[in-house]
Amino acid sequence: MLKGFSVPLTPQGKSALATLPPWHYSSDCVAIEFWADRSAVAAVLPPGLAVDESSAGRGFFWFLDWQFTGSNDELTDPARYQYREAFLLVEAVFEGKPVNYCPYIFVDNDAAIARGWAQGFPKKHASVYQTRSFSAPSPAAAPLAKGSRFGASVAAHGERLATARIQLEEAVPDPSTVFNRPTTMRRYFPQLTAGRQDKPAVDELTMSLTDDLAIVDVWAGSAELKIPEVDGEDMHLLAPLRVGRGYRLGMAYSVTDLRILKNYAG
Amino acid sequence: MLKGFSVPLTPQGKSALATLPPWHYSSDCVAIEFWADRSAVAAVLPPGLAVDESSAGRGFFWFLDWQFTGSNDELTDPARYQYREAFLLVEAVFEGKPVNYCPYIFVDNDAAIARGWAQGFPKKHASVYQTRSFSAPSPAAAPLAKGSRFGASVAAHGERLATARIQLEEAVPDPSTVFNRPTTMRRYFPQLTAGRQDKPAVDELTMSLTDDLAIVDVWAGSAELKIPEVDGEDMHLLAPLRVGRGYRLGMAYSVTDLRILKNYAG
Amino acid sequence: MLKGFSVPLTPQGKSALATLPPWHYSSDCVAIEFWADRSAVAAVLPPGLAVDESSAGRGFFWFLDWQFTGSNDELTDPARYQYREAFLLVEAVFEGKPVNYCPYIFVDNDAAIARGWAQGFPKKHASVYQTRSFSAPSPAAAPLAKGSRFGASVAAHGERLATARIQLEEAVPDPSTVFNRPTTMRRYFPQLTAGRQDKPAVDELTMSLTDDLAIVDVWAGSAELKIPEVDGEDMHLLAPLRVGRGYRLGMAYSVTDLRILKNYAG
Amino acid sequence: MLKGFSVPLTPQGKSALATLPPWHYSSDCVAIEFWADRSAVAAVLPPGLAVDESSAGRGFFWFLDWQFTGSNDELTDPARYQYREAFLLVEAVFEGKPVNYCPYIFVDNDAAIARGWAQGFPKKHASVYQTRSFSAPSPAAAPLAKGSRFGASVAAHGERLATARIQLEEAVPDPSTVFNRPTTMRRYFPQLTAGRQDKPAVDELTMSLTDDLAIVDVWAGSAELKIPEVDGEDMHLLAPLRVGRGYRLGMAYSVTDLRILKNYAG
């Protein structure tokens, strides 16, 4: 009997990129609020999602240093299971309710790609970095304190896709005032058989379900964000017209389920 | 209208990991014949495939330096589209016909992962290297000539998964005497919704279709191959009991279609 | 006028791998106490250092996640200046005083190689990982608390060079009971001119000077450590005969100077 | 007795990044002729070199896929010894004779950094790619033939430092009409001891000596080259004002010696 939640299925199930949930995550995050062109936001939304007219093109660009564990002490194998991620969220409306939608997302780890695709996150491979906050005091420590500066970047195939910097100003007592929309994605897997290459085998609008969500140590401050045009990427179409606040926070949750909002594939 | 054969679907289709076929490939290859434990071969085969009793556990371990191009001059963007691959094939029988089956495959490129999963190749990310043959004469050149030595290796997450060496002895005039079986794979995409995590959305036995296949400059010689046991991988269960011949060759083909042999999900 | 502390020297000095000190560092560290073969320790010591008879072959294997900054806000460019390191220290005696000596060290960043070579650290390029402690509570968070488990590893060229795991048991109130020896190194730069290839241009015994040293949040616990034999490395000659305690801590210091203990080059 | 040409010196000498010469190299190369601002060329030259007034700012940007071997069959360990390189050469005059000078050079391998620094090449770590020419016929093969297109790029820390493309037009029967200047470098190793940080331990003008130089299969054609401005690099100061011909060739040589032209360190 072959085992594994994802490929490859193998006799003992050790090689599978993803094992069965629960999947547990904890992270440090840098997030930058920005406003993109309203029509560019509309252009990336799948059927059933509409631009949130109250948002006027607002989005967030996130950088995350993740630690993952499943049921096998994966967090003690950081070479395989620790990873970094960057993604762009745009604000939208689904059946009248405010949501985020994720058109672009990058990680530096193949297990994260496999789990992400299963959810609908359209992950690609990239190098992602963010300034960390260390406890040993030093000009290099970047403590969680007024005036600390953090940088973050994502690059793929030798092209810089986004660069951000924030400077902390104040703690945010209630993170739900900032981060309060569920995230929706498009779960998609194509067919290669001739004649069916435009009829995906899987094409669904999904919603991320995050058990035991914890958002901690939120700080806000000033921010910079650049999304330059590079060959082979469309993401710059959502480049910021205006940049808002920058945030630095910790976030954790577990994944055991996925909500399917729509099935496009019929 | 969002565009792309694979995720991410975007307005201009530039960000998609894979664009619509045709997909054209050319490569240099090192391949090592070996025999694994017969029951270990049986254990990786999906339903419908049986051990080839005439093969007695024979397989090939391949290392490939690939160049890819689609319809947009991708070969001039080698940072994005050139890649290296290693895979293991075991010999099997499908409906009485001899085939190969691919239980393990590794690449260093996310576009190759996306195209591979669409075909059924269970690709993971790894670092792959092989000695190259250069035209400028030098002790470092490794010409295609009797006595030249080639090495190859694949590693993931800082673990060496396989290491091979071959020494060329003679040209092989007719490659079809060595490489003559079609390759079958398991195309697989899971569901994450609670209660359906053991019911994949896509689960098919497929066969790779290679248009305009060219196999050139085939040399054979002596070979070594090691597949050590490492944490987090099952591949060593197919470690060689005996190693046969080593081969160095060039191979090219195009992909425009995929044959579905069985639908397990139905 | 060309500028830079290290190569390359350029008109504006931006390209130099290293700029003039001060160099500020803060880190999270995992360190494992172990005992190697006494004669193997003796075999790596340069002239002037002797085995510490009171130590009986004791050493520490360190894994460090570093953040660097100089005088130009380098910490906000983490893609260039954040890095990971692993090194092995053996205990020795110099002129009757207890010291550490560093025979092997690995980093994933070229600026760290350049600064390290200037000090005498014989750095090579590798991939290094350690479990991190995140503030958002989760099974993936690895808090600084009794029972938390941390893993760490270093690999180069697809070979795993060392793997460690620790489990926290108790806080260590006074780190100076554990970490109290200065570190010595061999600063070395060869000549390539024919006839002088055995007469290095620079060959000195040096001592690392760490301004404003801070060691914080020290925890101790049980530990595992493996240093396997791999092709192309001698480090396994110092593989642990016995493993002692494992430590997890924060460390920061600044570098502005280097002490030269001996000049071997004459 | 500790062994190694470079650090680390170890009992068996296996860990050293560089072993004693001879060092043998063979490569495939893409080289683009260009003209930079004359004063920008002057600004990167060390004392003793002058702008070549007959060159008017001419330089070449090279991309090289290298295979290295020493005396221990290193070419069969491609994960450790195969590497890719990109460098910029500007034309200059030393004591009345035409030479090249290398102000910027990038490789993806630490052994290549160690050998390079010993010669005077100011190597930094980067990712380098070039389109390869494969023997198996395919739209992906890029044969050495009129009309074939090759791309090349170099990136470090997620920033694209240079991108080139060439299209082959004709074979070049006599490569010495194009490539005929020896290359000079600045061999440099700093001191870190306070008060001596501006007095390098090694500071020499050197000339690369290439035994058994072979240049083969030279093709010329049209070319594009971009050297964009990025944070943390000065190289764009030499960005092309005009681009000339592009070349694709094979090159091999061995290194056993180094010529010291000047000793700046006194």
Contact A131, A142 (CB under 8 A): yes
Residue-level pLDDT, tens digit, chain B, 266 residues: 899 999 999 999 999 999 999 999 999 999 999 999 999 999 999 999 999 999 989 999 999 999 999 999 999 999 999 999 999 999 999 999 999 999 999 999 999 999 999 999 999 999 999 999 999 999 999 999 999 999 999 999 999 999 999 999 999 999 998 899 999 999 999 999 999 999 999 999 999 999 999 999 999 999 999 999 999 999 999 999 999 999 999 999 999 999 999 999 86
Give the closest-approach CA distance of A154 to chain D in angstroms.
7
Which amino acid is located at A63 in the chain? F
Question: Which stretches of B12-81 are assigned E, i.e. beta strand?
Answer: 23-35, 49-51, 58-69
d(CA B234, CA B228): 10
From chain B, the residues in CB contact with C129 under 8 A are 158
From chain D, the residues in CB contact with A157 under 8 A are 155
pLDDT (tens digit per residue) in D40-98: 999 999 999 999 999 989 999 999 999 999 999 999 999 999 999 999 999 999 999 99
From chain C, the residues in CB contact with D189 under 8 A are 117-118, 189, 201-202
Name every residue in C having a CB less than 8 A away from some CB of B.
Answer: 127, 129, 153-155, 157-160, 230
Yes or no, beta carbons of D189 and C197 under 8 Å apart: no
Residue to test with chain D: of C117, C211, C234, most D Cβ within 10 A: C234
Q: Model ipTM? A: 0.97
* Chains sharing 3 or more CB pairs under 8 A with chain D: A, B, C
Give the closest-approach CA distance of C19 to chain D in angstroms.
10
Which amino acid is located at C36 in the chain? A
Residue-level pLDDT, tens digit, chain C, 266 residues: 899 999 999 999 999 999 999 999 999 999 999 999 999 999 999 999 999 999 989 999 999 999 999 999 999 999 999 999 999 999 999 999 999 999 999 999 999 999 999 999 999 999 999 999 999 999 999 999 999 999 999 999 999 999 999 999 999 999 998 899 999 999 999 999 999 999 999 999 999 999 999 999 999 999 999 999 999 999 999 999 999 999 999 999 999 999 999 999 86
Which tokens hold the place of B72? 């947009």
pLDDT (tens digit per residue) in B66-106: 999 999 999 999 999 999 999 999 999 999 999 999 999 99
Give the closest-approach CA distance of B162 to chain C in angstroms.
10
Closest chain B residue to A236 measured between Cα atoms?
B15
Helix (H, G, I), strand (E, B) or coil at B173: coil
Contact C140, A75 (CB under 8 A): yes
Contact C247, C29 (CB under 8 A): yes
Give the closest-approach CA distance of A192 to chain C in angstroms.
33
From chain D, the residues in CB contact with A154 under 8 A are 158
Residue C189: is it exposed, middle or buried by C-beta count within 10 angstroms (0-12/13-18/19+)?
A: buried
Facing A234 at nearest CB: one of B15, B43, B259: B15
pLDDT (tens digit per residue) in D90-146: 999 999 999 999 999 999 999 999 999 999 999 999 999 999 999 999 999 999 999
Yes or no, beta carbons of C10 and D44 under 8 Å apart: yes
Facing B136 at nearest CB: one of D75, D136, D251: D251
- Identify the band that residue A165 occupies on the pLDDT scale cut at 50, 70 and 90: very high
Name the one residue in this structure whose structure tokens are 């100076």.
Answer: C176
DSSP state of B57: S
What is residue B3's predicted lDDT score, i.e. its pLDDT? 95
Closest chain A residue to C139 measured between Cα atoms?
A24
Facing A153 at nearest CB: one of D127, D154, D158: D158
Secondary structure of chain D in HEC code, one letter for each residue: CCECCCCCCECCCCCCCCCCCCEEEEEEEEEEEEECCHHHHHHHCCCCEEECCCCCCEEEEEEEEEEEECCCCHHHCHHHHEEEEEEEEEEEEECCEEEEEEEEEEECCHHHHHHHHHHCCCEEECEEEECCCCCCCCCCCCCCCCCCEEEEEEEECCEEEEEEEEEEEEECCCHHHCCCCCEEEEEEECCCCCCCCCCCCEEEEEEECCEEEEEEEEEEEEEEEECCCCCCCCHHHHCCCEEEEEEEEEEEEEECCEEEEEECCC
pLDDT (tens digit per residue) in A63-80: 999 999 999 999 999 999
d(CA C140, CA A28): 12
C84 alpha carbon, distance to own chain's centre: 10
C73 φ/ψ sector (left φ>0, alpha ψ -120 to 50, else beta): left
Residue to test with chain A: of B234, B235, B254, most A Cβ within 10 A: B234
d(CA A248, CA A63): 10
Residue A135: CB atoms within 10 A of its CB come to 18
Which tokens hold the place of D124? 């930094």
